[in-house]
Chains A and B, each alone.
Chain A
Amino acid sequence: MEPEQPSPHTEQESLHEETHLPSPTLYPIGFAIGIVVVLVGLIINPLLISSIGAAIAIVFAILWAREATAELRGEQVAVEPERRATTEADQQGVAPVPLTETPVSRSVFLEGATLGLGAAIGGLITLPVAGFALLPPFLGQLQHKIDLGPISNFPLNVWYIATFIVDPAEGEVSRRTAFVRNNGNVPNPDNPSEQVPSFTIISNHCVHLGCPVQANGPSGPKFTGHPKIREHTASGQLVFDPVLPAGYGCPCHGGQYDPEGNRIAGPPVRALDRYGFEIDHGRLILLSLYSVSHVVGTGGQAKIYKYGEAGPGEHLDGPEQFFYPIQPPHH
């Protein structure tokens, strides 16, 4: 008779015929139940229920230990021999029963389950962590209002250097500087018969890469003929230093601006940013920054080309604005 290739079916079976281990024991489960009862009893009734639990745990622990050490103690381990019925076909060495065709084999199913479960667990862990890592800088950005004191402090058409702390909780690192000028009263654009105060408040952050611009010109009472303004407000102790700017210059890469903040030379791509403001009970309150492409005219009559706040070096108009279509959320 010709030797035939063993079918995968018979080969699989032969693997099982080498060792017969004792069937898995149930004692550890009983032990675990005993522990659970002890713990529950500690909450409900330590004396009664915990003692019952302890008894269960001890009994099962002894049984478990006995069984685990049976072989060491030389006891015969009772294992039932495995038996398989043989058919006529078996004796002829022919695969008797064709394996039932299943749409998904066991290994493919296990592979899919491993990958799927792994992906699910990985996703459950990764998504919240990634969200925590990436989103806080974009959510809940606070708007800070800075009280610069009564507007009557500011003489007409005099520039002052104002430094203030934006967020007292952050401390010195949130100190900002602005150039403030009182433009006097101008007609309200919404209601031309009404006169409203006008201020020019220019941020000192260069719109090239964010260095602090300096006023080109003398500062201090000696050169300007105006005293310093000292004011204690809700935003802390403020000192306003008078200055005569012929423009602003940046120490880092030489950007130059005119007194209205228009770029006149160097690498900046637009005019200096400005602070919005409101007048509350006669006090000058600084609001959020906004960006400016350029300014036409001066003082209260200036026409300001306003945009939402953009980072330094970002174009607001012209073809380059195409590169910055969506700004991250600002306050």
Chain B
Amino acid sequence: MATTYRRKPTKAELRRQKMEELVVYPIDWLEERSGLIGGIKYFLFRNVPSDINWMQTLGSAALTAFLVQAITGVILAMYYVPSAATDPHTGQPVAWESVVNITDHLYMGWLVRGMHRWGASVFIILMFLHMGRVFLFGAYKYPRELNWIVGVLILVSGMMEGFTGYLLPWDQTAYWATVVGINLNGTAPFLGPWLAQFLRGGQEISGETLTRFYSLHMLLIPGAIIALITLHLYLVIRLGVTSPPWSKDAAGGEPEVEEEPRLRPGLTRPVPHGASAMQAEPGGSE
């Protein structure tokens, strides 16, 4: 009777095993204490309809554009000075000079400012394209109406970023565009004049307008956008991705195979008879 011996692992195999342990150990450590790895895996490997296409990447493209804005903005804030005071040596406003400094003198400053300057338009354009996709695919319908509303709030916040950021170079274009923009707000009925005076920080545009626009542009509105994007993504994960309108899996179509439903019932496929759209919690029946 032959005895089977397990072959003794070679040195290379042992080293490889050790390396794997080294990599896995911190991941396991984190997962055991936070469940974060499982969460990320759930997010990345969750089921989506099989017939989605490139149109459905516009949302993550817009998210990427926002991240570019956030990162370049943080770096620009290291060099930008939001002061309307006049530099006594050159007679130019300090804010404008700091923008010139970023663009013309600091290493790669022209590139990072350019990314922020043009990336702003890219962000808005991608949001509109994403919005168009959602509209044309009917992806705003039940139960995703709330996510449409959140998306609109992100779009409005993005435009507020555009408005407040436009003043910061503190040149003639920036100044007069802001004069017109604030006065447009001022013509809104009833509270318009109050809103305009709040935005100006007083009766006239001054250095206070610049500092408050800077604060709104880099702290308040980005914070709101980050919170709204988090909510937006949570709802995308919770409700799932919509099938395209031509999909066989789309609501109203007959599912081809019954084994292993790819999607939770009620979201993109008909609700089985007798089941509620929102799956009841186990033990919820009394």
Question: Which residues of A are in contact with B by a Cβ distance under 8 Å?
Answer: 134, 136-138, 141, 166-167, 170-174, 209-211, 252, 310-314, 323-325, 327-328, 330-331
| Contact status B86-A312, CB under 8 Å | no
| Contact status B186-A314, CB under 8 Å | yes
| Contact status A312-B183, CB under 8 Å | yes
State which size class the interface on B falls in: 20 to 34
CA distance A328 to B175 in the complex (A): 22
| Contact status B183-A324, CB under 8 Å | no
- How far is the CB of A124 from the nearest CB of chain B, in Å? 22
Which B residues are in CB contact (< 8 Å) with A211? 176, 179-180
CA distance A252 to B186 in the complex (A): 17
| B201 interfacial by beta-carbon distance below 8 Å | yes
Which A residues are in CB contact (< 8 Å) with B204? 166, 174
CA distance A209 to B207 in the complex (A): 20
| Contact status A137-B198, CB under 8 Å | yes
Answer whether A173 and B187 are a contact pair too, CB < 8 Å, given A311-B193, A328-B193: no
| Contact status B202-A141, CB under 8 Å | yes
- Of A134, A141, A173, the contact of B203 (CB 8 Å cutoff): A141
| Contact status A310-B193, CB under 8 Å | yes
Question: Which residues of B are in contact with A by a Cβ distance under 8 Å?
Answer: 84-86, 93, 175-176, 179-180, 182-184, 186-187, 189-190, 192-194, 196-198, 200-208
CA distance A190 to B196 in the complex (A): 37
CA distance A69 to B183 in the complex (A): 70
Which B residues are in CB contact (< 8 Å) with A325? 190
| Contact status B183-A137, CB under 8 Å | no
Q: Quick one: which of B193, B196, B206 has the most chain A CB within 10 A?
A: B193
CA distance A201 to B184 in the complex (A): 25
Q: Quick one: which of B86, B192, B203 has the most chain A CB within 10 A?
A: B203
| Contact status A210-B179, CB under 8 Å | yes
| Contact status A170-B206, CB under 8 Å | yes
CA distance A167 to B204 in the complex (A): 11
CA distance A171 to B207 in the complex (A): 9
| Contact status B196-A311, CB under 8 Å | yes
Listed from nearest, the 7 A-B pairs whose CB atoms lie closest are: A313-B187, A323-B189, A311-B186, A209-B183, A210-B183, A209-B180, A328-B197
| Contact status B205-A137, CB under 8 Å | no
A253 (CB) vs chain B CBs: closest residue: B180
CA distance A296 to B93 in the complex (A): 42
Which B residues are in CB contact (< 8 Å) with A327? 193
Which B residues are in CB contact (< 8 Å) with A172? 86, 93
Q: Quick one: which of A210, A324, A325, A331 has the most chain B CB within 10 A?
A: A210
| Contact status B206-A174, CB under 8 Å | yes
| Contact status A314-B187, CB under 8 Å | yes
CA distance A296 to B242 in the complex (A): 65
Answer whether A330 and B203 are a contact pair too, CB < 8 Å, given A138-B197, A324-B192: yes
CA distance A138 to B195 in the complex (A): 11
Selected A-B contacts with CB under 8 Å, 9 pairs: A137-B200, A141-B203, A172-B86, A209-B184, A210-B180, A210-B183, A211-B176, A324-B189, A331-B203
Which A residues are in CB contact (< 8 Å) with B203? 141, 330-331
Answer whether A170 and B84 are a contact pair too, CB < 8 Å, given A210-B183, A314-B187, A324-B189: yes
CA distance A167 to B194 in the complex (A): 22
- How far is the CB of B92 from the nearest CB of chain A, in Å? 9
| Contact status B200-A252, CB under 8 Å | no
| Contact status B197-A314, CB under 8 Å | no
Which B residues are in CB contact (< 8 Å) with A313? 183-184, 186-187
Which B residues are in CB contact (< 8 Å) with A312? 183, 186-187
Which B residues are in CB contact (< 8 Å) with A174? 204, 206
| Contact status A137-B186, CB under 8 Å | no
CA distance A50 to B73 in the complex (A): 52
Which B residues are in CB contact (< 8 Å) with A167? 206
| Contact status B197-A137, CB under 8 Å | yes
| Contact status B205-A173, CB under 8 Å | yes
Which B residues are in CB contact (< 8 Å) with A310? 193
CA distance A327 to B208 in the complex (A): 21
Which A residues are in CB contact (< 8 Å) with B175? 173
Which A residues are in CB contact (< 8 Å) with B205? 173
| Contact status B186-A170, CB under 8 Å | no
| Contact status B190-A323, CB under 8 Å | yes
- How far is the CB of B132 from the nearest CB of chain A, in Å? 30
- Of A134, A138, A209, A328, the contact of B179 (CB 8 Å cutoff): A209
CA distance A252 to B184 in the complex (A): 13
Which B residues are in CB contact (< 8 Å) with A252? 176, 180
Which A residues are in CB contact (< 8 Å) with B84? 170-171, 173
Answer whether A137 and B201 are a contact pair too, CB < 8 Å, given A172-B93, A211-B176: yes
- How far is the CB of A102 from the nearest CB of chain B, in Å? 27
Which A residues are in CB contact (< 8 Å) with B202? 136-137, 141
Which B residues are in CB contact (< 8 Å) with A136? 201-202
Which A residues are in CB contact (< 8 Å) with B186? 311-314
- How far is the CB of A264 from the nearest CB of chain B, in Å? 21
B92 (CB) vs chain A CBs: closest residue: A172
| Contact status A171-B85, CB under 8 Å | yes
- Of A170, A171, A311, the contact of B187 (CB 8 Å cutoff): A311
| Contact status A324-B193, CB under 8 Å | yes
